[in-house]
Amino acid sequence: NRLWCRMAMPFLWYNPFELPNQKGNILLQTLISCLSENDKERLQIRNVKFHFLSQSPPPLFDYPRYIRTFNSEKFTSLYRRYHSKDKNNDIFLFQLLINMIFDTSYGFKHFVNNYTLSDYNHALQKIISCNKNLPKVFSNIQKLEFQCAVSLLHNTLTGSVSSLLRNVRHLLLIIRNDHDHLQNNFDIIPHFIQSMIELKSLVINEHCINFNKEAIFKAIKSHENSLTFLGFQIVNDYSLLIQILISCTKLETLEITQERTSFFTNRNPSQQFYLNNHQISVKHFYHKNIIGNENFFKTFLRMTSRNLQTFSSRYITRDIVEIMREHCPNISYLNISTFSFYISSFFQLIDSLKLLEHFTLEIQDGYPNFHEYDLQQLASKLPHSLNYLGINFFLTPNQLNFFLKECKAQIQTLELNYFHLHDFDYVHTVIKYSQEVKCLKLVKYKKGIYGMGYCRFNPELHCRRNSSNEKHHIYMNKGFKTFKKKYDLIDKGAIKIGDLSLCEVKPYSYSFYDRIFNSAL
């Protein structure tokens, strides 16, 4: 009924442009139908006609007013995909829709603006600079993501717009180099950061600080009592980061992204060692690149003073592992990506983490040649506190069965990234294990299709394989159907077998950024 719809609209239209939308044309038509009669007449004067306007009744609700998250890039992409006529009318209709959203909105909570030199983005910036409803739209923004070239800073982060954004709690600033405007515009960034009332999260790249480090440090330090998350996209200068870590005593989470070097930066990463006689408050560390600065890692781990609880990194070395053993005994959440020839160095580290609850191991070369001794060592080192285990490397069903039997930890959730639901040998292994140990409640598998999982590599099946691929797939389908019937499996995303649940695993991210900027307010 109408009351239910009125209650549902704020949820359905909170963030309509972010989610994958197979019916984007209907979404765009709905927005066009919400235009005022005056705007529709202006379209007719330009000979822009939409048949659905005459065929459909007026919309029941003023849908644009419920939009609380606006992503300029996603909206522009949707518009260009489903509406393409002559260029002048394209821009005109685009302006009408943006103006309508800004004029009717209750106010944005999350605003994403990736500033480019396209005509669409130029039209958006023009509306931002002169829209009368801007104070209402911008004054309650809590999450702001802004990416642009340096030369465009002056028109976007100064004046009335800047004063409206003082309530931002989570800020992302990614500034790209612009050869002619570096020196003249970098004062804008520290002033903008310092203007925030109480900043909790900040993501910034090294180009933002290259020419005014002292001002940037002072601006960030002004939020030392509120800042809890810092994302640093870095090339080679860790000196400012170290100062920030020491000064911001409430900082709990640090995420490092290793940027590529450019014309403006030294191509050789800084290799100096840092002083270790300071303590920092960081408890959670994320690093999603496979390259990094070993000296910084070792210094950072020493400075955490046994406070570190989360370590999630795709960059790791033997020396870093040794430092972790000595200085990070209280880690409870460990996610590591490495190569198979490093794996033995982790055994002693895992054995030393008596509070470990969540452990995910990714082998970058994918198919390590594990012997039973290696598997037995890994299984025996897992502490009893462990309840979540992620295996992101290939094991045969026999190896998996051996590993699980040797494992003494009470695993409740098992993540297997090299196993598909249609790999019934694996399914049989985990079901049998769950029936024996009783503690396993959830298995996460990788989404796959018939004939594309483990069975593709199974030597026993390989010897039965007919030269005809068609006959092989028939054999695969027949085998899976028999197995599915035995366990009454339903070929959907989530499956229940007794007390055991099976569901598809989501791609793991070594980033904390998404949890902050892509979560609902």
438: Cα separation from own chain's centroid: 33
Residue of higher predicted confidence among 407 and 156: 407
| Coil, strand or helix at 178 | coil
- Compute the average pLDDT of residues 63-83: 89
Question: What pLDDT is stored for residue 59 in this prediction?
Answer: 85
Tell me which of 210 and 216 has the higher pLDDT.
216
Q: Identify which of 349, 398, 352 has the alpha carbon closest to the alpha carbon of residue 375.
A: 398
Can you say how many angstroms the Cα of residue 65 is from the centroid of all Cα atoms in its chain? 28
What's the pLDDT at 447?
63
456 has a pLDDT exceeding 50: no
What per-residue confidence (pLDDT) applies to 182?
A: 53
Does residue 274 register a pLDDT over 80? no
Q: Count CB-CB contacts under 10 A for residue 276.
A: 14
22-26, 54-58, 170-174, 467-471: least confident range: 467-471
More confident residue, 157 or 270: 157
Q: What is the mean pLDDT of residues 310-329?
A: 94
Q: How confident is the model at residue 417 (pLDDT cuts 50, 70, 90)?
A: confident
* Res 3: pLDDT: 86
Per-residue model confidence (pLDDT) at position 162: 82
Question: What is the model's pLDDT at position 440?
Answer: 94
Give the pLDDT band (50/70/90) at residue 477: very low
Residue 461 has pLDDT above 90, yes or no: no
If you average pLDDT over residues 26-50, what whole number do you get? 87
CA-based nearest residue to 230, from 164, 300, 160: 300
pLDDT band at 451 (very low <50, low <70, confident <90, very high): very low
Write the DSSP string, 76-111: HHHHHHH--S-HHHHHHHHHHHHHHHHHH-S--SEE
Percentage of residues in the chain having pLDDT higher than 70: 79
* Mean model confidence pLDDT for the chain: 81
SS (H, E, C) 384-442: CCCCEEEEECCCCHHHHHHHHHHCCCCCCEEEEEEEECCCHHHHHHHHHHHHHHCCCCE
Please tell me the distance from the alpha carbon of residue 117 to that of residue 107, in angstroms, as a whole number: 26
pLDDT confidence bin for 453, thresholds 50/70/90:
very low
pLDDT over 60 (residue 459) = no
Highest-confidence range of 8-22, 34-48, 141-155, 337-351, by mean pLDDT? 34-48
pLDDT over threshold 50, residue 288:
yes
pLDDT reported for residue 365: 72
Q: Measured between alpha carbons, how far is 90 from 149 in angstroms, rounded to an integer?
A: 25
34: confidence class by pLDDT, cuts 50, 70, 90: very high
Mean pLDDT throughout 17-42? 85
Distance of CA 462 to the CA centre of its chain: 38
pTM value? Answer: 0.84
Q: For the ranges 224-228, 370-374, 395-399, 463-467, which has the lowest average pLDDT?
A: 463-467
User: Which domains are assigned to the chain?
Assistant: 332-521 (3.80.10)
Instruction: Say what the pLDDT of residue 171 is.
Output: 95
Residue 252 tokens read as 């709990």
* Residues 321-378: tens digit of each pLDDT: 999 999 999 999 999 998 877 777 888 899 999 999 999 998 887 667 778 888 999 9
Predicted confidence (pLDDT) at residue 481 exceeds the cutoff of 60: no
Average pLDDT of the segment spanning 450-473: 37
Cα–Cα distance measured from residue 350 to residue 353, given in angstroms and rounded to the nearest whole number: 5
**pLDDT at 284 (0 to 100):** 97
Rounded Cα distance between 177 and 149, Å, is 6
Query: Sign of dihedral through CA atoms 228, 325, 514, 148?
Result: positive
* In the predicted structure, residue 262 carries a pLDDT above the cut 60: no
Q: Flag whether pLDDT at 268 surpasses 50.
A: no
